[in-house]
């Protein structure tokens, strides 16, 4: 099948847009949406030092790659990587997160975990970037309704990580497209997709959303827009970003810990 933008071979079909896209136009489309989110949420300012949480999956690697590309010609913005772990627990070698950061020539730093005593390390970090995708947002919003705590969408938790603002440029991009983006624009390091959550309730919520989205492709975007409308545009990222805090307790991250669950 040919790309809807050019005559090159398509690598992906966007069900919600009805377009076939080649690798170049898919990358351009993803980057345009991410940049639009950054602009609309005022997530990037001159003088920022952005620390990118890199967990070793394709989403976080794609985020690091995108931000590196976006800030390549800017001397007023600094990037650092915060690897989830420095060593591969199986081989003892460098983790994929560290390898990605090194391949992009982005320095790695350490930040103290949320709730830990003492100030965060890493110097003058001004923002934390997290690889929260459209799927993560949509599943989180749906879970709030299913478990009867939809009021959290109107009064979301603070969009912070150790008192630092959190930015999530990929909230309008599906996870499947981020996997492909890494394969297209990444550095060639073999990285697995994000490990599925083992929580059965989370799995069931995700399966329900995926099944409905196959028949109604715009569902995830509708949930994103609903969250932003209810939360004054600042919370689609904020309401879900907390679930990606390294070291977060199960009470914070697990949707089954709800009243009457």
Mean pLDDT over 132-141 rounds to 90
Asked whether residue 252 is domain-assigned, the answer is no
In a domain, 122, yes or no: yes
Q: Which two tokens stand for residue 225?
A: 């827009």
Total number of residues shown for the chain: 261
Report the distance separating Cα 243 and Cα 55, nearest Å.
13
Task: Please give the pLDDT value at position 82.
Answer: 92
Please check whether residue 1 lies inside any domain of the structure: no
Q: How many domains does the chain have?
A: 1
**CATH code, domain carrying 120:** 3.40.50.620
Does residue 184 fall inside a structural domain? yes
Does 258 reside within a domain? no
Residue 224 lies in a domain: yes
| pLDDT tens-place string over residues 79-134 | 999 987 766 665 555 688 889 999 999 999 988 655 444 444 556 899 999 999 99
Confidence category of residue 8, pLDDT binned at 50, 70, 90: very high
Residue 255 within a domain: no
Return the closest-CA partner of residue 146 out of 225, 205, 106: 205
| 12 in a structural domain | no
Give the domain extent around 89: 45-243
């Amino acid at each position: 099948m040919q790309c809807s933008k050019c005559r090159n071979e398509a690598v992906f079909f966007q069900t919600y847009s009805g377009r076939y896209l080649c690798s170049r136009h898919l990358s351009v489309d993803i980057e345009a949406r991410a940049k639009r989110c950054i602009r609309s949420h005022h997530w990037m300012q001159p003088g920022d030092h952005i620390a990118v949480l890199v967990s070793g999956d394709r989403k976080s690697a794609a985020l690091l790659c995108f931000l590196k590309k976006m800030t390549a010609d800017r001397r007023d913005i600094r990037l650092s990587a915060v690897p989830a772990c420095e060593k591969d627990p199986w081989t003892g070698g460098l983790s994929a997160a560290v390898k990605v950061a090194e391949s992009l020539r982005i320095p790695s730093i350490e930040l103290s975990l949320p709730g830990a005593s003492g100030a965060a390390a890493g110097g003058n970090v001004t923002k934390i970037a997290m690889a929260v995708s459209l799927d993560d947002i949509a599943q989180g919003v749906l879970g709030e309704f299913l478990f009867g705590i939809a009021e959290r969408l109107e009064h979301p938790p603070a969009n912070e990580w150790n008192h630092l603002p959190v930015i999530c440029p990929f909230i309008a991009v599906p996870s499947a497209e981020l996997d492909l983006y890494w394969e297209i624009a990444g550095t060639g390091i073999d990285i697995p997709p994000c490990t599925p959550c083992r929580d059965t309730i989370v799995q069931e919520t995700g399966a329900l959303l995926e099944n409905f989205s196959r028949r109604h492709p715009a569902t995830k975007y509708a949930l994103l827009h609903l969250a932003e409308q209810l939360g004054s545009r600042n919370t689609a990222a904020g309401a879900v970003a907390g679930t990606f805090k390294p070291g977060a307790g199960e009470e914070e991250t697990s949707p089954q810990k709800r009243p009457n669950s």
